[in-house]
Structures are given as C-alpha cells and as structure tokens.
Structure 1
C-alpha cells in the first residue's frame, strides 16, 4: 500500500500545475516557531511535492530579513513582514519581493505594560519610559501611533534596547512598557515565569489606528516572471496546510517537531494557536479568505509605513501585494 501511495504522489507531482521538481529555496522569518506550522506541514505532508516543487526550508534571522534575503538572490521565497516589503519597495522596487499570501491579517506590533501600573489607554503612555529595539516596526511607528492617538511624543521617553532585554527590563520595572511583537513577547514572558494574560496589558497598534498587515508568504520577482505556476503551487500547498491546522492543531505541532526535534512542542503548539487566534483569524479574513488583503486597507497601511519610516517614495499597492496566485475563496476559508 505504501509503495502504491508513493507512486501515486509521484504521478500527481508530474501532472501538477507547477513545473515538475522546481527547486525553491525558502526562508522562515526566525528560528523554528509554531507560527511556521502551515509551511512546515505543507512540507511534512508532501503538499509541495504534489505541486511539483522541491522546497528547501531554512531558519530565518527576522521577519524583515526575509525580504533582504530574497533580494540578495539567496532565497526564492519566504515568510516575513509585508511592512518590510513596503520599505524596500520605496528604494529598490526592481528587486523587492512581492507578498502573494497574506497569512497574518492582524499586525503583531504591540506595547506591553504591567497591569499593576495601570497603563490601560494610549493617553496613559504620556510621561512614561518605553523600551524597544531600534528599527523594529513597533519602535519606528511609535510617532505615528502617538499622532493618531493625540499624544505628545515629546512626553514619551524611548530607550533603545537589545531584543533580548525588552521583557526582562519590563519585568524588573526598569521601563514602563516594551515595544514588541506580541507573538514573541507573550512567550518570552512565559519563559521568564510570568503570566502574560493575568499580569500584563497588551496595547495593539492595530486596535489604535495603525491598521497594518503582518507576516505572509513572499516570493521574488524573478520567480513570478520565470515560473508563475510554481508560485501558484507554493501558495496552494501552504494554504491547504493552513486550513487543515485550524481543524487539527496536533498535525501542525507534529510538523514543527518533524522539522526541528529540539523545539519545545507544548510551547510551540501554544504559539501556533496564538497566531491563529490573534493574527490570522479576523472578520476581514472570514470575508475575503486567508491570504488576501483589502485594497483600501493596504493603501492606508502603505501610507502609515511611508510616514513612520519617512520614505522618499510611497510604493503602489501592486508593488507590494499580488492576489494572482491565490486559490479560490472557498478553499481559503477556515472551518
């Protein structure tokens, strides 16, 4: 039976819509995490092979670094931040990758504070000291957050911190709030024996005017031009896995462990679930399906990033995102 199934899979791969045995070098956004499960499950269950793709998956160096890795030609595709695409498209539009599957409908950019300090609204940030890593969207977009929420940015002190210090300094009370990615900070607090839900408040940029998108699957312009069928197959395989995980979380966690046996299964299962609950699932995603964007919202997001990063040129939405490779809407809806 196993030989029969293997032979069948091979025939499907040869007959699939993508060119048989197309090599794709794929970079994750960071070290192995549960939020990578749709990509890893597509690999584990042979969905890439069924599309005629041979995908090599490497760990990443940051969701913004995914963009520069693809721009360098080292990688063909990856999982990373659409806001980094916007930044680079303003300067090097001819080589900046394009988002083809917008998985995180909500942005992870968040200010986390201790509940005991009573910082519950943006107005409570005035007079406070925040810590963040320079260059990250949460830190760079803080002035836009302040403007949109009627705050005087001069009343807020921002300390530049290494990424591994933002949560420890918050725990010790050395700063009043941390400028973070929620999906990272939540689990860093857990690793520091904190209760992120009971003892901390989370002020999401997306809930306070900065209606941005987050991470998704991006591909090089060269891949789009030279092998669009492979792009379609890549997106179809990842979408198939993303939908299945919503009904079978254990399969996603198993795929993470198959890729990296040293990962903490319980922690990464929780991170995967967190990504679905807080970043992937939304009213908009229910309406337009996984992977797509609202055009008006994307245009607003581009303007926000252009303001925050003081871009000399504001990219067009078509330079940033393409829905040409998405499966039908009925295939992109969570159960």
Structure 2
C-alpha cells in the first residue's frame, strides 16, 4: 500500500515538473557571452526560469539594437537589448516593436573615449577633433544631439566611419582623437589591447552632458504579452531574483556565465560584470524605485532625445515603450550591491 502511495506521489511530482516547463521561450542576448549577461544566465542555470514554468533557450546576440529586430522578426520572444532601439522602431512599426518590461541598465553606456593627452573632458573640447564612430550605433547617431545640447558646432568636428573592431586600435595608434563607444565594451577592449583605461584615458559620458537616457534591459514581444502574460511575469521574476542575488555575490553570477560558455575569460568578464553594476545599474533612481523600474518623465525626455537624434517621423508614448505591470513588488527589487 505504502509502495503504491509513494509511486503515485512520485508520478505526481514528475507530472508537475513537466507542467512547470511547458512554456518555451527563445531569448537572445545582446552580444557574445559577457559577464554583464549574468542575470539571465543565472536565472537559467539555477532553475529560476524552470520554477516559473518556462523552458528558456538562450542564444548569443548580434548587438543590443539587433535584439529588437530579432524579436520583431518573430524569431525570438524576448531578449536583452537597448530601449532606445525600441523607441526608434516603435515610431515606424508600433504594432511590432517589443516592449521593455524590466529596465536593467539605468545609466547609458554611451561615451567618447580619448587619450588623456588629447584633453577631451567636455563637449566643447570636441571642436577641431577627429572621432571614430561605427555607423548606426546609438553613440554615433546621438553625438549630434550631444553637440546641440552643449552648443558645439558639429561642422568643426570630423567623424570617420569605421567598424567597431577598429575603434580602439586606431585610437591607440593616434589615427583618431576619440572613439564613439559603449563604455562597458570599450573599457575592456582597451584592456585586451594592454591599455589602462582608467589611468591613460578620458571618458566623456553622454549621460553627464544632457543625454540622460536609459539603456539595456529585458524586453519581450507584444505577442508574448498578449498571449501569455503569466509567462512574461515569470520571466521578469526569475531575472529579478537572479539580478538581486548577483548584487550580493558576483562570483555566483560568474559561475553561471562560465557554465553557459566555458570559453569566456573569467577574470575579465567578472570585472565587466562588476563594471555593469557599478557604472550602469546602481543609481539613486534604482535605490528609490527598485531594480527594473524607471521614471516615466525621464523616459519621456529620452523619447524626445532619440526622436531628434534619429529624426523619427513620430514620437511613441512612454506606455508603448515600457510596461511595469509585470514587476515584482518593490521590496523584492531592492538592490544591495557588494563588490566581490
């Protein structure tokens, strides 16, 4: 009798486990595997997605803006990408653009990096300089808005178009005075080129000079929201749980990154993970609103900035870009960051 009862219980547990993982979600990262992807990879590795009834497949990405187009194509249901790319696409394809449901990077990574001897410390110092930019990237597209907001005549600034892989090498050689970059990418590219990004380079951050934009976070398709809002809520809960845990233990986050891709350089990517928290995530706004949320008035200003920078035919509303209904209660999103 007891044996039969235990067998029935075991069968029930198996059926429950199978039911828990019945919603398949294809998820794209913003780029090749990096330490800053840890929240998504820990949620997968630690079983947080599975506990929410989700069978999540994670693929590497092709750029934070490409995350948006991948989701719009229907190939992916969700991903880690740039909210400014959502704004850009929502202006022309409002019924197809994904929606941000968990804002992770509260501060923008857009920056101009230059050697210290070049003395570029503020926008006015760009006059007479040559910058290297990758065509179509947010930093390159928005530098004209940066100039406008800071009364800089862009006719006196030269921009050389180049591939992203050439920016740091040409900067090191002195072929350009500055590079239009993502700080979280360029900082570690310089390290890989045996440079000291802290000691020998200046970083002109767009966010410090009028372009107070948001950046990367968890976005999902409108289709997923309409057809399975419970899955979206579960996805957000799992990522939030992981992101909060990583704030207390970055090594735990890195374990999941290495488990996902054992070819990453652990020490370098661990530093990138910490860089993301210290420079892009932790902020007074996150302390006030909790991780994952944002300020609607700030988002509205961001939409205005992006609309000007990309010469958009229309401006989407904040409600089209960000949906906070899936966020866990604020007490579950309170972030404590401990560098370790």
Q: Do 1:47 and 1:237's aligned partners in 2 also have CA atoms closer than 8 Å?
A: yes
1:81 is matched with which residue? 82
Q: What is the CA distance between 1:13 and its match in structure 2? A: 5.7
Answer yes or no: is 1:205 the counterpart of 2:206. Answer: yes
Q: 1:280 to 1:11 in 2, by over 3 A?
A: farther
Equivalent in the alignment of 2:233:
232
Taking the aligned partners of 1:72 and 1:223, their CA distance within structure 2 comes to: 13
- Report what 1:266 is aligned to: 267
Structure 1 residue 259: Cα displacement:
0.1
Deviation at 1:118, TM superposition (A): 1.5
The structural deviation recorded for 1:150 is 1.1
Q: For residue 191 of structure 1, what is the aligned residue in structure 2?
A: 192
| Secondary structure in 2 matching 1:212 | coil
1:9/1:116 CA distance change after superposition, 3 Å? farther
TM-score, structure 1 as length reference: 0.95
What's the counterpart of residue 252 of structure 1? Answer: 253
Question: Alignment partner of 1:141: what SS?
Answer: helix
Superposed CA deviations along residues 130-180 of structure 1, whole A, max 9, x for unmatched, are 011010010001110001111111110000010100111110110000000
Q: Distance in 2 between matches of 1:82 and 1:9?
A: 40
Q: CA separation of 1:187/1:160 partners in 2, compared to 1, >3 Å: closer, same or farther?
A: same
3-state SS of the aligned residue for 1:146? helix
Contact 1:131–1:161 (Cα < 8 Å) also in 2: yes
Specify the alignment match of 2:160 in structure 1. Answer: 159
Q: d(CA) in 1 for partners of 2:30 and 2:80? A: 5
Contact 2:111/2:181 (CA < 8 Å) preserved in 1? yes
User: Partner residue of 2:71?
Assistant: 70
Paired residue for 2:314? 313
Q: Per the alignment, in what secondary structure is the counterpart of residue 188 of structure 1?
A: helix
Tell me if the contact between 1:82 and 1:320 (Cα under 8 Å) persists in the aligned partners: yes
With over 3 angstroms needed to count, the CA separation of the structure-2 counterparts of 1:254 and 1:20, relative to structure 1, is closer
Show structure 1 runs of 5+ residues with no match. Answer: 1-5
Q: Distance in 2 between matches of 1:47 and 1:22?
A: 14
Which contiguous aligned blocks of 4+ residues in structure 1 show a shift greater than 6 angstroms? Answer: 6-12
- Aligned counterparts of 1:54 and 1:201: Cα–Cα separation in 2: 44
Moved more, 109-118 or 183-192: 109-118
* Alpha-carbon distance between aligned partners in 1 of 2:157 and 2:100, rounded to the nearest angstrom: 34
Deviations 1:103-139 (A, max 9, x none): 0000010000111221111111111000110100100
1:96-135 alignment runs, 5 A limit: 96-135=97-136
Q: CA RMSD in A?
A: 1.6
Q: Which residue of 2 aligns with 1:93?
A: 94
Q: How does 1:171-186 map to 2 (within 5 A)?
A: 171-186=172-187
Answer whether contact 1:9 1:50 (CA < 8 A) is retained: no
Paired residue for 2:4?
none
Q: Secondary structure at the match of 1:314?
A: coil
- Contact 1:113 1:176 (8 Å CA) reproduced: yes
Contact preservation (8 Å) 1:12, 1:50: no
- CA gap 1:162/1:9 in 2 versus in 1, 3 angstroms: farther
Query: What do residues 67-107 of structure 1 show as CA deviations (whole Å, max 9, x unaligned)?
Result: 00000000000000000000000111111100000000000
Unaligned segments of structure 2, at least 5 residues: 1-9
